[in-house]
Chains A and B, each alone.
Chain A
Amino acid sequence: MKNTVLIWLAIGLAGFAFLPWHMTDDGLFDPVWINDGNASTGLFSALSGQWWLAPAGLAPLMAIAVQLFVQAPVRRARITLAIAIAGLFLIALQGMIIVRAGPRILEWLFTGEAALAGQPGMGAGAGLCALALLFVATVSISQSGKGQGDAFVVSTIGLIVALVGIFVFFPVMHILVRAFEVDGGYSLTEFFPRFFSADIWGLGCLFGPRSCGVAINSLFLGVMTGAGTTLLGLSFALIFTRTDFRAKKLLRVLTVLPIITPPFVIGLALILLFGRAGTVTEFVADLFGWEKTRWVYGFWGVYFAQLLSFTPIAFLVLIGVVQGVSPSMEEASQTLDADRWQTFRYVSLPLMRPGLANAFLLGFIESLADFGNPLVLGSGYSVLSTEIFFSIVGAVADPAKAAILAIALLTLTLSAFMAQRIWLGKKSYATITGKADSGQNASLNPALRTLCYATALPWAALTLVVYSMIIFGSFVKLWGYDHSFTLAHFIRAFGFDLSSGRLTGVAWDSYFTTLTIASIAAPLTALVGLSTAYLLVRQKFIGKDAFEFSTMLSFAIPGTVIGVSYIMAFNFPPIELTGTSIILIIVFVFRNMPVGVRGGIAAMSQLDKSLDEASITLGANSFATVRRVILPLMGPAILAALTYSFVRAITSVSAVIFLVSAKHNMATSFIVGRVENGEFGLAIAYSAVLIVTMLAAILLLQLMVGTRRLRRADRVQQTA
């Protein structure tokens, strides 16, 4: 352990002495920084006038001395901890105080040319140094006896807390404080009347012809969508695991399609089917002689689109959980003379509670944060996400209103989160134990099976129709009007010149950028998400509830708010990231992490702790336990996290719009531009290509992750 600390100290010192402390203009791997006299290593800068950087080098040096000369282990750990924290604090402090324009406060302290010249954002040296000090601190905490003396666990907690702090809290604070802003200052008394106004919480629609407040609209939509998607997701999961339905493969593809669909496409397809001039509407109107209506614009259209879009998320969470319910429990129930309905109702269903609760929570939050569907179909039905977007980019920009609405949205999310905690309670849902377990999952009783088919199959059929429409739309001249076959949209987007090998299509650039960023973001997201889930389920530490909620925060905040807050926070030193690809990767990792967390928690609550304990008893440390015992059993959760984060990096739009730059343009922002321009054909052709790409990627991921084997064979009891 002492060695671990020494290694990290050496790394930190190396970062200070040999890597450029500040951001360089030419990239890390360009050796220009060595002798161009501008950006230089922390050591060099500290010696040449930027004395405030010295603590970053002194801290590791002092800590090394402590390692070598202090003998008592606990005392040594405590002193090291104090030094590391002081070092981190001073690094952060100097970064906040001295920006590009020189010192912001304490001018009397920071005098001289070097300080007045200011400094650029932190670079590789600073990052490595801070990271090393962070790990030194966490390892020291574990050495001083806290956190059950487990360095891996404490370090992971420390790292995730630091990351969430920097990339979620720090930017979000930037925008939330604006809710309290009045002319020239801040005020609490101004905030409350604005927050509780009837525009937000009004119940007018219940008692009269007025519309309800936006928060009430959002809440109603969210609850309906959460309930609807959970129900549909459960039906699908049950069909997959508990019936011998023949076309499972096709169904599986259908359940994945909606999440791999770029925004606006589902809304557009619904308009073409159910809009006033839609195919289905015209057919039905002719058949029954009804007036063609615009029912699809408003609550029902948005609800419909959200059910289509978010059911797969519920399904991804629930499939792992439903699979995980141990057959031996069900067999025990049946042995005790329960029929199949009773077994399902009193044994299987209660064991699925963590899955149901998490699926509902995700559906609810997704619905609240959804932006594309309400924009296309919402019409008069205002919800928080669109309202926030237009308070930022609308004709009257009102960041304070946006911040207040964002707080309203967070209030709803927090309440849903609390309600879920209360409903789940403190019961144990572990069903995957190390014990031999080779039973058969009980198949569904006939009534329930019919019910599952009746809810899931029409939905599947609708999905199939919507996607056939999309494919069809990409091959016709003018979707909805001129249905003559053409390849022109594909050639314009993805054309290439065989003779010269040049890519002539307009979409190639954004296509490659998108794929690269998504492939980098996905594994990082899964890693951060599942590590967090592991900590939350398996470890006990102070402030766990707050920690859990903070990991959900970024998900609950609409993309627009995240996008703007990221610009506000990361456009200036100490952390300057705007215009780079890294800011896109980070925004994806921290926005999509909650899905990894929720899925991971749901799957991990089912793994009996005795498995970990057995592994620990046999002498493995907690890292080995995670790698060899827990990870292999987490297959579906890993797959879900990887798939979801990969796909969301490709399809999310509202956060990205503010963060894309000319160098790093993303597919969605390209598509939105085309849709705004009225070029539906090109937008749909591009979407179709993205859908195929993502489908291929998902199949590949599925192959790579493999399926977990919980028992010798997953069998469903044959209906006799």
Chain B
Amino acid sequence: MKRLGMISVATLALSASGVLADELSVVCSAEQDWCDLMVSAFEAEHPDTDVLMVRKSTGETLAQVRAEAGNPKIDVWWGGTGDPHLIAAEEGLTQASGVDTSELLGWAQNMADISNGKAIGIYAGALGIAYNADILSEKSIEPPQCWADLEDPRFEGEIQVANPNSSGTAYTELATFVQLFGEDEAMVKLAAVGKNVNSYTKSGSAPSKAAARGETGVSIGFMHDMVKLAAQGFPLKIVAPCEGTGYEVGAVSVIEGARNPEAAKAWVAFALRADVQSRAPEVGSFQVPSNSNAKVAPESPDLASIKLIDYDFATYGSSDTRGRLLARWDAEVGDPNPQK
């Protein structure tokens, strides 16, 4: 019994932990290497600040920020697709940082306007189609050029895309179809593509990884992810659909009630600077930077040459539209996992 007591005391002794004054707690939802680079660059400029960074996906981060509301342990949320950042702003979980956004491109400022300055765009990534060149040539399938090609029976069982109920990437695709073709037509087209889909994955990045390894012939996802896989040596070819395509905007937000708001604002200002954004390609991140003066890597998908739609983040990011579109997707595009 005493022994039990001793152990419990030892456990308690461990529990008292502390927070130093100059610690900045960052959750990073971009690629790990990019996160590491940002931290070391920031610390080099702010030697008094100790940046504590952890990488979590946007969904995980949003769940954590919600659960911690009122007593947050995070100061800044950097990177990751914009929708969850916008939801957090809408729910009052983040605060405006008041950082100057005048150097930013239109889509990044637009995001700040929608969220009242709470979420600011840091990069953009366009939606695209990727195909495994080996598989398609082996099966002598003509590669796709347009969204409409994906409805063709030649791709039967070859297309993989994520389920919009679980993946933000797939929701962007759904919203892009709706904005390109109108809601009713979009559902018809998605259902037609659905006939060729071999699996609706849970995670948005899974289809392109599967296409890279030859587990599926064609995938839909974000182009910068595909570029990264192709750069690693996989036989992946990337297509910007001829009808035009939607895109995501990665964002940065300061958490409401952050313990270290000053350092958090310094981080936001730092993350928006042209010289900082220009460094992303060093670690293989090929998103398009939001600062108009930042250098764009040659590998990055050139947004100027891609037909981008005027993506309406305010409408399609709202919970109402989202709920309605997903309900229609479930009903009309169908059972994501029919038994074959």
**A residues at B contact (CB < 8 Å):** 4, 11, 20, 23-30, 100-101, 123-124, 127-128, 131, 135, 151-152, 155-156, 159, 205, 209-212, 271-272, 275-277, 294, 297, 375, 378-382, 386, 390, 392-397, 477-478, 480-482, 506, 520, 524, 527, 564, 567-568, 571-572, 576-582, 585, 623, 657-658, 660-663, 665, 669-670, 673-674, 676-679
Contacts and interface: CB of A to CB of B under 8 A. Distances in A.
B53 A662 contact: yes
A382 B63 contact: no
A25 B170 CA distance: 43
A478 B64 contact: no
B215 A294 contact: yes
B145 to A, nearest CB: 24
10 contacts: A151-B1, A209-B339, A395-B59, A577-B15, A580-B15, A581-B17, A658-B60, A658-B63, A663-B52, A677-B33
A661 B54 contact: yes
Contacts of A156: 1, 4
Nearest to A199: B330
B26 A395 contact: no
Interface residues of B, number: 77
Nearest to A211: B337
A603 to B, nearest CB: 21
Interface string B41-64: 000000000011111110110111
Contact of A506 (B36, B57, B202): B36
Interface string B230-267: 00111100000000000000000000000000000000
B205 interface: yes
Contact of A393 (B32, B62, B205, B229): B62
Contacts of B51: 662
Contacts of A582: 11, 14-15, 17
B15 A277 contact: no
B133 to A, nearest CB: 12
Contact of B55 (A482, A581, A623, A673): A673
Contacts of A379: 199, 201, 337
Nearest to A39: B16
A544 to B, nearest CB: 20
A524 B216 CA distance: 46
B317 to A, nearest CB: 11
A581 B17 CA distance: 9
B71 A100 contact: yes
Given A155-B4, A393-B60, A673 B32 contact: yes
B167 interface: yes
B151 to A, nearest CB: 20
Contacts of A209: 338-339
B171 interface: yes
Contacts of B19: 25, 579
A381 B59 contact: no
B232 A478 contact: yes
A395 B167 contact: yes
A380 B13 contact: no
A173 to B, nearest CB: 15
A677 B165 contact: no
A506 B51 CA distance: 16
A343 B13 CA distance: 55
Nearest to B323: A396
Contact of B215 (A271, A381, A660, A674): A271
B200 A380 contact: yes
Contacts of B167: 394-395
Contacts of A658: 60, 63-64, 67
A395 B87 CA distance: 10
B35 to A, nearest CB: 9
Nearest to B226: A678
Nearest to B35: A673
Contacts of A205: 339
B213 interface: yes
A249 B331 CA distance: 55
A272 to B, nearest CB: 8
A294 B198 contact: yes
A657 B213 contact: no
Given A123-B16, A156-B4, A393 B234 contact: no
A4 to B, nearest CB: 8
Among A276, A378, A673, A678, the one with the most B-chain Cβ atoms within 10 Å of its Cβ is A678
Contacts of A11: 5
Given A28-B15, A658-B64, A673-B32, 16 more contacts: A26-B16, A124-B16, A152-B1, A159-B4, A277-B214, A394-B59, A395-B165, A395-B170, A396-B165, A397-B66, A481-B235, A567-B67, A571-B68, A579-B25, A582-B15, A678-B212
A676 B199 contact: no
Contacts of B36: 506
Contacts of A159: 4, 8
A678 B228 contact: yes
B117 interface: no
Most A C-beta atoms less than 10 A away, residue of B8, B17, B171: B17
Given A382-B337, A579-B73, A568 B67 contact: yes
A582 B15 CA distance: 6
B335 A676 contact: no
Given A25-B19, A477-B233, A577-B15, A677 B214 contact: no
B36 to A, nearest CB: 7
A271 B214 CA distance: 11
Pairs A-B, 9 closest by C-beta atoms:
A380-B337, A393-B59, A662-B52, A277-B214, A390-B166, A394-B166, A567-B67, A28-B16, A127-B12
A364 B151 CA distance: 41
B59 A375 contact: no
Of A30, A159, A394, most buried by chain B (CB within 10 Å of CB) is A394
A477 B212 CA distance: 15
A128 to B, nearest CB: 6
A678 to B, nearest CB: 6
B203 interface: yes
A379 B202 CA distance: 8
B18 interface: yes
A653 to B, nearest CB: 11
Contacts of A527: 4, 7
A572 B70 contact: yes
Nearest to A159: B4
B5 A380 contact: no
Given A131-B8, A571-B68, A658-B64, A678 B229 contact: yes
B31 interface: yes
Contacts of A381: 337
B32 A677 contact: yes
Contact of B25 (A135, A375, A382, A662): A662
Interface in B139-167: 157, 164-167
B26 to A, nearest CB: 7
